Amino acid sequence: MTISTPRLDSLAAGGTNDVFAHVRLADDLTLALKIAPGADVADEVCLLPGLFPPATEAWANEDRLEDWLTGGALGQGGGLYLDVPVQAVRDLIEQHGGEHPDQGLPSPIEAGDGVNAAQRAIEALAARGISADIEEDAGNSWLIVGEDAHTGSHAVLCLFRGDDDETVVLRVPDLDRDDWHAATVVNGVELPPMVRPVAQLGDCIEAIAAWLAEGRPARGLKGGTRSGSARR
């Protein structure tokens, strides 16, 4: 019997906008992939620790440089694989019992729902098993995500409104004026942020999750910035 893979099928059809999007498997293991709309081959597939690739040609193109850069932090199993056919990804999902019914995706933001940005982001991160802390200073507020106890490397998630200098998460997002800014801080240096409209929080969550899964490499989040947006 063929097992359906609606999450993978949706990602393969619509693409992932050059960021990693996750697929939670029935046995609670997770993979993430980057793929162009309608493509038969995923550009990159990240297997999180505990998930092993089949010993087939489809999974032969492993990015060992990425594993070296992370100091082998991907641990038991895991790894980053390039140019993997979608069918091979589907076969792997089926071997693990299919997709989990709860993909842990952040709920859409609705106008006037009264949920502040911090609560929404913390819930979305928690669904990926990622913790976050709220920081405040001089009227500004932001989230610290996945801070490493040894190096201090972490991700930052916050809201900006146009050219406003204030960094805020403790307010209800404005769908028309606010953008999410997600950045990585490595060796005390904040790297250029990913910028997404409020309704695209999921892009930031997936990029942060992939960065953490890759061992907090010394680079910014993949995916770039929203057209026409810039951080002051």
The string of pLDDT tens digits covering residues 192-220 is 899 999 888 988 998 998 899 888 999 89
User: Token pair of 130, please?
Assistant: 């990622």
Q: How many CA atoms lie within 13 A of 41 on its CB side?
A: 8
Q: Using 50, 70 and 90 to split pLDDT, how confident is the model at 75?
A: very low
Between residues 147 and 125, which one has the greater pLDDT? Answer: 147
| Sign for the pseudo-dihedral over CA of 175, 203, 18, 68 | positive
Burial of residue 15, with CB atoms counted within 10 A of its CB: 0-12 exposed, 13-18 middle, 19 or more buried = middle
Residue corresponding to tokens 């050059």 = 18
Q: Using 50, 70 and 90 to split pLDDT, how confident is the model at 64?
A: low
Q: Is the pLDDT of residue 68 over 50?
A: no
0.75 exceeded by the pTM?
Answer: no
Q: Please give the pLDDT value at position 162.
A: 72
The string of pLDDT tens digits covering residues 115-125 is 788 888 888 88
User: Token pair of 87, please?
Assistant: 């069918």
Q: Please give the pLDDT value at position 165.
A: 61
Q: Is the pLDDT of residue 44 over 60?
A: yes
